[in-house]
Amino acid sequence: MSLSVAVIVFMFVFAYLPQLAVLVFVNGPLAAFTTILLTLSESSTLITLLSRTFLLQDALLDTFDGVLVAKRQTGVLAEGRQLKSGNFNDPMAKLGKLIKSPFEKFTPKAFVRYVMYLPLNFIPVVGTVIFVLLQGRTRGNSVHARVSRQPPLLCRPLISSQYFQLKKWSNPQREEWLKENTAAYTA
């Protein structure tokens, strides 16, 4: 909560007015509303990046892997993590040392795509909605990542997700799965 409050206050103190000054020329009286949405969206991105990178990365990884153990998917998980032998009632107790790094890489292509979509916010209301939908579509594909060091804005449609790596899926298999589930990911 304190990280969220700090980031939101910081963004409204330092980013809101400059963005409002630009958007007022494009959006007129709606600029205050669209600038609030833009600032909150940027704040959300920063909060997610900071919290996942510094506060939650180990917990997210262990939770993801613990669910795989609880769902009896230890064969899939064994490709990326050592599992303790024995009949444990607690799935978390079976988790051992990591074998494969679960972190995805930043991609310049995704950053360029984000910067290209950013001007959509200059279109009153509709532009912001389109921007959010496009970002949601590309971000939705990252749900299979065990832990992601990259900020959500840098997520890309063709992920080299650890989950897919653990399943030993080829790029065409990943792309097909993501294509079939694009609507659900966007929502």
pLDDT of residue 115: 79
For residue 136, what are its two tokens? 């949601």
CA distance 160 to 52: 18
Residue 134 pLDDT exceeds 90? no
Count of domains in the chain? Answer: 1
Mean local confidence (pLDDT), 12-36: 94
CA distance 123 to 113: 18
- CB burial string 43-60: b at 16+ within 10 A, e below: bbbbbbbbebeeeebeeb
Residue 46 Cα distances to 11, 58, 66, 85, 169, angstroms: 10, 19, 27, 40, 31
Q: In degrees rounded to 5, what are phi and psi of residue 96? A: -115, -150
Full residue range of the structural domain in which residue 48 is found? 2-186
Percent of the chain with pLDDT over 70: 76
pLDDT of residue 83: 82
Beta strands of the chain (E only): which ranges? 81-83, 95-98
Residue 78 pLDDT exceeds 80? no
Confidence of residue 48 (pLDDT cuts 50, 70, 90): confident
Residue 159 pLDDT exceeds 50? no
Average pLDDT of the chain is 77
